[in-house]
Structure 1
Amino acid sequence: MRTIVLMTLVLFQVCFIKGQTSLKEINLEKGEYNVGFKHYTRIDSTRIYQIENNFDNQLINRPIPISIWYPTKTKSSEFNQLSVLDYLKILKEEEESKNLPNELLLDWFPDLGDTPQNRAHLSEKVNALSDAVFLEGKFPVVVYAPSYQASSIENFALFEYLASNGFIVISSPSRGTDTRWLEGGTSKDMETQSRDIEFLIKEIHKYENIDFDRIALMGFSFGGLANAITVMKNKTISAVVSLDGTERYNYSVLEKSPYFNLDRFDIPYVHFAQKDIPEDVLTSDNIPAELNYKFQLYDSLKYSDVYSYKFHDLTHSYFGTIGVLFAYRDKRQDKSDEKIMASYKLLSKYALQFLNANLKNDEKARKFIENGPHENNISENLVSKKMKKPITKEFDYKDFKDLALNHGYKDLIPLYQKSLSKYPSLKLEEGMLNNLGLRLSFNAGMLEKGINVFLLAVHIYPNSANLYDSLALAYLYNNDVKNAITNYRKSLELNPENQNAIDKLKELEE
């Protein structure tokens, strides 16, 4: 797969020798479920796109090819078991070369290569069963963002592994704003991929088998950068997995987004990084040495559990299934195929445990993630870890408003008291509460919620004539004359010069 066309491109695509690997040797042990797979295309009518290989310059609504892996009880004898070639046919489609003969496929895409070893991969059977029936129940979902201009299926072995362990994985290809081609890793490219990710977040709501309270993002390379900005725009995400994401290497692109806001990145985040680049490669390829140690996003995040793992036998390309199976090896720095496959398996295990901990609240998995490698009987020659815990975030009016919304604006007084005991500095300004109560009261279907806000407000500010006046108005709007009179009287008691209360009481009592 294409991975990245940024300042770090040279890290990942030096070609010397072909690898010899297989899915069987990677040996990702299947979980308790069989795996179903579907591939289809949706249309985003809000954006325009051009398929260059049609050679007609026609503009169409943006197509979003979608691949989805999911748990199923269907047996392989009942449905078609896919092969690696079936996945690469999806690659052809997403690369807009669907009419390309299969025998030319490996030669056509330079990231694959027509070698005996690669030809042998095509017939390998995978675990996924085409169009199998979804297993009943609610499952957490992983929304995947591929590497630079890569296919939705680039990490298919990992996706099958997660689905067999009770996750649904959904992915779409990485493509440019106007055509298949990205501009070179710009902030525009990042925003385009982020919008595709948001399209998938919307798409999952069409599936009754998905638990919408348990959504994680996962991305490889440029996909990790797009995921980082997506988290800053969306509050529905529970965790983020980055497979050597370029938010580590190209933090400046992230900062250019108008949505950049580190305070909104407050969920668990794990970054799995490639091995240190040898000094001779840094020198010969003119790569900044700081790429081995600088990680500004990790250093800058304050309000989330943050984990960073470095895999000492993996260079960048091997964080994806296609890379492990097909990519050329750089003999200056790449490890043996055996070590690459073993580390990819270990990477997959860590990703699963992180997701189990944060989407399934699995304490055993949480302990695995919190442990150092040696505590999990893993050699630190394979992987090293660092982590940091979040600092306590200041809880303010906006946070309480979001909390109240999630509670349907019910039981606000005990909710406020509980919040105040946890966050003693919490201050809800009188004017803000009055404004929120009025907005809710005169919004269709939200009058009761507005009244609840006013009841909280007069609880906090019992001497505010203005709040009682507003509460009375809300009751009056609800045709509750008795409570309207009671609260107008209370307002007048606190402020005898409240002419509005005088007029309303005269009108109501007549």
Structure 2
Amino acid sequence: MIASASIGMHTRSINIDVDSAESQARDISFLLGYAATLPQADGSHVAAIGYSFGGLANVLAAARDDRISALVSLDGSVRYFPAIVQQAAYATPERLALPMLYLGGKPYTAEMMNRFKQVPTYSLMNQMKFSDLYNVTMYTMTHAAFQSESLRLGPEPRFDEYSREEATLAHGWMGRYVLAFLNAYLRNDAAALAFMNNKPAANKVPTHLLVIDAHHAEGAPPTLATMAAQFAKHGHKDLAGIYRDMRQREAEFKPDERSLISWGEKFFDVNRYPEAIEIYQLSTSLYPDSARAMFYLAMTYDRHHDNALAIDAYQRVLGFWPDMVEAKQSIARLKTTAK
């Protein structure tokens, strides 16, 4: 295990803002790079575990760093500061399609949340429909009880109406759930996965100690990577149909134009023109005003000797770029070849 200190950008203490959260997220990514240099480290099975504000920073780190494959949040601030999460616009359900265990303390009443001005208008966890998410409420734990220092040295008032012994018992069960979760998702341990999906009573958890709200992923996230995987699975055919099916599940899904073009180039560069044509046809249908996408489609038709289609596509390119010499020369060459 490698740990990152909770420090601010410019001072020892942190500010409760997006800059501090992103600074901590960058620290996590730095440590992942360091871990990759250690001979005993397995970089393919990485979990980021965070307490309090660290339980917001690790979420942002996972949204930006694909090396993180599981998340554990110990009463993390991803719940308590939803506005910060929203400011980090890249922390989307699609980018966070990974298993997550959230262990939270005794919930506030609605009246207390109103009093402390913490009534949330947004919940990232409620949006994480492409993730296996285990939301565990530990009823005899306050926020401070999630750190072992408080259990050993903290004053009794930290535990509110509960005793140190009750909090310690819950802390032990918290550890069991963290271990089971990590074994389930990093080691593919079937028994550990069954433990996570059991009712607490089946795991012999003391009555009324905790409850679990489990949500399982609703399929793969609608991303370009998912679409590429489906395209390969279908023998690199019917990309338009694959995209149409994905849009039925997620109406807002629309791959970035440049990403589509770059994907098509990978096929174009190794002379796999039929696959590139399907990608550029989708690109031009999604971005009909893109001269760049049309030009790539024209070039691919040209290389594939689809002369009539290439001429038509080059002429469309000239509609965007009337003075483009390469398109004019290509049309002239193809018309000469056709005679």
TM-score range, shorter chain: 0.7 to 0.9
Q: CA deviation at 1:219?
A: 0.3
Q: CA deviation at 1:414?
A: 4.7
Say which structure is richer in helix: 2
Give the TM-score normalised by the residue count of structure 2.
Answer: 0.73
CA distance, structure 2, for counterparts of residue 223 and residue 329 of structure 1: 25
Query: Where does residue 65 of structure 2 map in the other structure?
Result: 234
Query: Where does residue 135 of structure 2 map in the other structure?
Result: 308
In the alignment, residue 307 of structure 1 is paired with which amino acid?
Y
CA distance, structure 2, for counterparts of residue 269 and residue 205 of structure 1: 23
Q: CA deviation at 1:393?
A: 5.2
Match of 1:416 among 207, 223, 236: 236
Q: CA deviation at 1:492?
A: 2.6
CA distance, structure 1, for counterparts of residue 41 and residue 159 of structure 2: 45
Q: CA deviation at 1:421?
A: 9.0
CA distance, structure 2, for counterparts of residue 277 and residue 436 of structure 1: 49
Query: Where does residue 198 of structure 2 map in the other structure?
Result: 371
Query: Where does residue 107 of structure 1 map in the other structure?
Result: none
* 3-state DSSP of counterpart to 2:184: helix
* 3-state DSSP of counterpart to 2:188: coil
Higher Cα radius of gyration? 1
Q: 1:419 to 1:356 in 2, by over 3 A?
A: farther
Match of 1:191 among 22, 26, 41: 22
Q: CA deviation at 1:242?
A: 0.5
CA RMSD of aligned residues (A): 4.2
Query: Where does residue 38 of structure 2 map in the other structure?
Result: 207
Structure 2 gaps of 5+ residues are 248-253, 285-293, 315-328
Say which structure is richer in strand: 1
Q: CA deviation at 1:439?
A: 4.3
CA distance, structure 2, for counterparts of residue 257 and residue 328 of structure 1: 36
Contact 1:191 1:226 in 2 (8 A): yes
What are the superposed Cα offsets for residues 246-275 of structure 1, whole Å, 9 maximum, x if unpaired? 111111222223534343222111110112
Q: CA deviation at 1:209?
A: 2.3
Q: How does 1:84-163 map to 2 (within 5 A)?
A: none
In the alignment, residue 230 of structure 1 is paired with which amino acid?
A
What are the superposed Cα offsets for residues 183-207 of structure 1, whole Å, 9 maximum, x if unpaired? 3x12221111111111112211112
Contact 1:262 1:301 in 2 (8 A): yes
Query: Where does residue 74 of structure 2 map in the other structure?
Result: 243
Query: Where does residue 170 of structure 1 map in the other structure?
Result: 2
Query: Where does residue 180 of structure 2 map in the other structure?
Result: 353
Count of residues in correspondence between the two structures: 304
Query: Where does residue 500 of structure 1 map in the other structure?
Result: 330
Q: 1:192 to 1:471 in 2, by over 3 A?
A: same
Structure 1 gaps of 5+ residues are 1-168, 405-410, 474-483
Contact 1:266 1:304 in 2 (8 A): yes
CA distance, structure 1, for counterparts of residue 22 and residue 168 of structure 2: 33
* 3-state DSSP of counterpart to 2:77: coil
Q: Is 1:220 matched with 2:46? A: no
Contact 2:140 2:167 in 1 (8 A): yes
Percent of matched pairs sharing the same residue: 23
Q: 1:503 to 1:277 in 2, by over 3 A?
A: closer
Contact 1:239 1:267 in 2 (8 A): yes
Contact 1:307 1:385 in 2 (8 A): yes
Q: Is 1:400 matched with 2:230? A: no
Higher relative contact order (CA 8 A, sep 6+): 1
Q: CA deviation at 1:326?
A: 1.6
* 3-state DSSP of counterpart to 1:247: helix
In the alignment, residue 174 of structure 1 is paired with which amino acid?
S
In the alignment, residue 457 of structure 1 is paired with which amino acid?
A
